[in-house]
Amino acid sequence: MEYKQQIAELLSAKCGLDAEKIQSLIEIPPQLEMGDFAFPCFVLAKTMHKAPQAISEEIATGLDLSGTDLAAKNVGPYVNFFIDRSALSENVIGEILKEGLSYGSSDLGSGKNVIVEYSSPNIAKPFHVGHAFTTILGNSLARIYNKLGYNVIRMNHLGDYGTQFGKLITAYRLWGDEEALNEDPIKELLRIYVKFHKEEKEDPSLTTSARENFRKLEEGSAEEVELWQKFRDMSLVVFKKLYNRIGVEFDNYNGESFYSDKIPEIVDILNSKGLLVESEGAKVVMLEDEGLPPCIILKSDNTTIYASRDLASALYRYRTYNFDKNIYVVGNTQALHFRQVFAVLKKAGFDFADNCEHVAFGLVKFKDMVFSTREGNIVLLEELLDQSVSKTREIIAENAKTRGQDMSEEEIDDIAEKLGVGAVIYTFVKSGRERDIIFSWKEMLDFEGDTAPYLIYTYARTRSILRKGAEKGVNPDSGNLSLLTGDEEYAVIRALSDLKESIVKAASSNEPFMIARQVAAIARAHNRFYNNTSILNCDDEKLIAARLALCEAVCTAIKDGLDLLGIGTVERM
C-alpha cells in the first residue's frame, strides 16, 4: 500500500493528476513478470493531447526514481512499476517478524466509536443456521474494526420482546412443564409455542389472552415480567454456550425490551415535529417523499413494533456512545425496514442517521445435506457444527493412521473441533456477504480447496517445517532476507504485502471476504513455493534461515488473518 501511494505521488508530480485519483486507477498486472503495479495512461490522453502509448513512454523514461525501490517501464499504454525484490523482502518480512500478530494493526480508527449489532436471536427459540450468518459476519467485522484501532461496542440486540411473549406466557401457564424447562429450556419453550399456534386456530380466546399478557408485560406487571425474565435468562445460558464454542463475545445484551421505556420519548419527538399521523388506527410517519411506505410507530392497540424499538435504540446509542458508525448486521430481507428507520431519524432532525448502516447478507441454503433435526425444517447451528466436527474427525484420524502419526484421542478431538468449526465459519466469510451461502460437505472439508481446513493445514505444515529447522539447528533469520528474490519466493512476499490493505478494504466495505481472499492467496503462493523449493535441504545456510523467516511470516499472516475471521489454528495435523 505504501508503494502504491508513493507511485501515485510520483505520477501526480509528473502529469498533474490528483494523487488520490491516480491511486484509484493503479492496477495489478496479470503476470508477475510484468511488474508489481501498472498505471493506464488513457486518462491523460485528453489533457496531454497524445496517444496513451506515447504518454506511457514519456512518463516511464522521465520519472526520477532515484532514492526509491522502484523501476519503471512502458508496456503499451501502461507504465509498469517494478519493486526491488530484495528491498520488498526486507521490508515486508522484516515488518511481520517484528510486529508478530500485531501486523496489520493501525490507529486508523483512533478515538472513534463503532457499534456492531449482530446475532440478535429470538429468546425462547432455537439458534438455527440463519442466525449463524449475522453472528459470524458481525464477529469478524468487530475484530476487523478493533484491529484498525476503533473502539468497538459489540451489541446483541436480542429479540426479547413483542407479542410472541404474550403467547409464550399464555402457553406456559396452560401446558408448561417445569422439569422439562429446566432440562432443555429452548426445546420446552418451542414445544409450547408451537402448540399455542396449533390450538389458537381452534380457540380464538388464546389470541385475546396473549395480547392481554403482552399488554401487562409492557405495563410492568410483576407476574408477567417474572415469567419473561425466566425465559430470557434460561435462553441466554444456552446461547452463551454456543457463542463460546464459536469464539463470539458481546459487550452487552441490550435487547428490544431494554428500549421499551424509551419509546414514549420517540413518540413525543415525532409528535412535536408534526411527523406522526394516524392511519387506520395506527400511528405512522409518512415517507412517500422518500419513495417508501409509511413507517408504523405504534399499532392500533398502542403496542410497539420493531421500528419503534429500533428508533429508540438508535437515539440511546448515539447519546451513550456518540458513535461514528452504527452498524446493523441483519439479512437482506430487512432492507426496507432499515431504510424506513433511517429515513424517520433523518426527518426527525437526527443527523447521526447518516452514520447508521445496514450491513446486509444473503440466505443460507444446503446442497446434498440431510439433517435429523427434531424441529422439522429448522437446521440448528449446533447440529451443523457437530456434524462438521464429526466428519472432520474421521478425516484427521484416518490421515494420522495412514501417516503413522502418534496422536492421542484428545489431540484428534481438539484438531477436529477447530477445523470443523472453522470450516463452517469460513463458508460464511469466504464470499461477498450478499451472496447466498450454499453448504456442501465435500466443498467445506476439502483440504485442497478454498476452505478453512486447507488454510489451517497450510499453517500446521509450515509450523512443522520450522520445527524441523530448529531440530537441525537452523532458525528463522531476518538478517539475510535480501536473498529471497526467486519468482516463487517473491510471489509469497507480494501476497503477504497485500494483507494490510485487505484489512482496511474489509472495514471500508464491511466485507470480511477480502481478508479471506488474501489469506487464501498467501496460502496458495506459499504452497507453490513449498512444493517446488528445497527449504531445508540447501547448501547455503543463510538462504535456509531466510526461507524459514519467510515461513514464519506466512504462519503469522495466516494466523492473524484467520483470527480476524474468527477461526483458530492448530500447531500440527
Task: Say which amino acid occupies 437.
Answer: I
Q: Give whole-number Cα distances, 212 to 52, 167, 224, 233, 335, in Å.
A: 75, 10, 10, 23, 31
Which DSSP symbol is given to 304? Answer: B
Containing 206, the helix (H) or strand (E) segment is helix 205-219
Going by C-beta distance under 8 Å and a sequence separation of 6 or more, which residues neighbour residue 520?
Answer: 430, 450, 454, 455
The residue annotated as part of the active site, out of 14, 21, 73, 131, is 131
The question of whether 128 is a catalytic residue gets the answer yes
Q: Give the CA-trace dihedral at 82, 87, 89, 93, to 10 degrees.
A: -130
The question of whether 21 is a catalytic residue gets the answer no
Task: Say which amino acid occupies 551.
Answer: C
Q: What is the CA radius of gyration of the chain?
A: 28
Q: Give whole-number Cα distances, 377 to 4, 513, 529, in Å.
A: 51, 29, 46
Question: 359: which strand partners?
Answer: 329
Q: Is 83 helix (H, G, I), strand (E, B) or coil?
A: strand
The residue annotated as part of the active site, out of 46, 125, 197, 365, is 125
Nine cell digits for residue 12:
501526480
The residue annotated as part of the active site, out of 50, 73, 112, 128, is 128
Crossing angle (nearest 10°) for helices 222-245 and 185-200: 130
Containing 358, the helix (H) or strand (E) segment is strand 356-359
CA 453 to CA 138: how far, in whole Å?
22
Nine cell digits for residue 562:
484467520
Instruction: Tell me which residue has cell 500478530.
Output: 101
Q: Are 167 and 263 in contact (CB under 8 A)?
A: no
Q: Give whole-number Cα distances, 416 to 188, 221, 419, 443, in Å.
A: 31, 49, 5, 17
Instruction: Tell me which residue has cell 447508521.
Output: 356
Among 93, 96, 89, 92, smallest CA distance to 483 is for: 89
Burial degree of 64 (CB within 10 A; 0-12, 13-18, 19+): exposed
Task: Say which amino acid occupies 489.
Answer: E
Which DSSP symbol is given to 121? Answer: P
Question: 299: which strand partners?
Answer: none
Instruction: Tell me which residue has cell 405495563.
Output: 219
Distance, C-alpha 356 to centroid of its chain: 18
Nine cell digits for residue 384:
451443523
What is the set of active-site residues? 125, 128, 131
